Structure 1
Amino acid sequence: MQQNKQPGYGPVVFRDRSAGYAFLTRSTASSEETIEWDDGETYPVVDVEISSESHPFYTGKARVVDAEGQVAKFEKRYGEQDKG
């Protein structure tokens, strides 16, 4: 069995800059950049583009598609065609 094939697993801070939100968890992700956390310790920080704080589904700002309106528009455009 080969040794040292598993990636390191340790505490990492994931930061969503667009929402101003960060959380500390354990991960195999790593980074050269570090941040000082609330507990006074320094941890590697990984910037993410989207998190639960900025995702439209979780924030309740998801766009609702008006399916009924789309069907009506389709029927108006193409109408009932006679199949005779």
Structure 2
Amino acid sequence: MKPGIHPDYRPVLFHDVAADAFWLIGSTAATDKTFAHSDGNTYPYITLDVSSASHPVYTGQERKAKTEGRVAGFNKRFAGFSSSK
């Protein structure tokens, strides 16, 4: 590898503010903020609006999809109407 052209890879503290969850992960993401983690060390700090801890798809809180299809829904709505007169 050429020296001086690669970003600095270091531990970075990510914080999901919606779920108040923290992750300490190796990253090259640039930030000027720092935060003292529960282990007593200070790390570069990045806030997140959504992560796997707060997003409904990952937490299992998403809306349940309808089990019936479009045709079944149509037939259910118009079951009382007859096309023959």
Q: Secondary structure of 2:73's partner?
A: helix
Q: Secondary structure of 1:12's partner?
A: strand
Task: State the alpha-carbon separation in 1 of the partners of residues 39 and 55 from structure 2.
Answer: 27
The reply on whether 1:59 has 2:51 as its aligned counterpart is no
Aligned pairs for 1:5-16 within 5 A: 5-16=5-16
Task: State the alpha-carbon separation in 2 of the partners of residues 38 and 47 from structure 1.
Answer: 16
Superposition TM-score, scaled by structure 2 size: 0.76
User: Which structure: greater helix fraction?
Assistant: 1
Residue matched to 2:18 = 18
Residue matched to 1:72 = 72
Tell me, yes or no, if the aligned pair for 1:12 and 1:30 is still in contact at 8 Å. Answer: no
Which aligned runs of 4 or more in structure 1 are off by greater than 6 angstroms?
Answer: none
Task: State the alpha-carbon separation in 2 of the partners of residues 73 and 24 from structure 1.
Answer: 48
Residue matched to 2:41 = 41
Alignment deviations for residues 16-70 of structure 1 (CA, whole Å, 9 cap, x no partner):
1011111111111121111001111111111112111101122110112204153
Task: State the alpha-carbon separation in 2 of the partners of residues 3 and 41 from structure 1.
Answer: 28
- Count residues with an aligned counterpart: 79
CA RMSD of aligned residues (A): 2.4
What stretches of structure 2 of length at least 5 have no aligned partner?
78-85
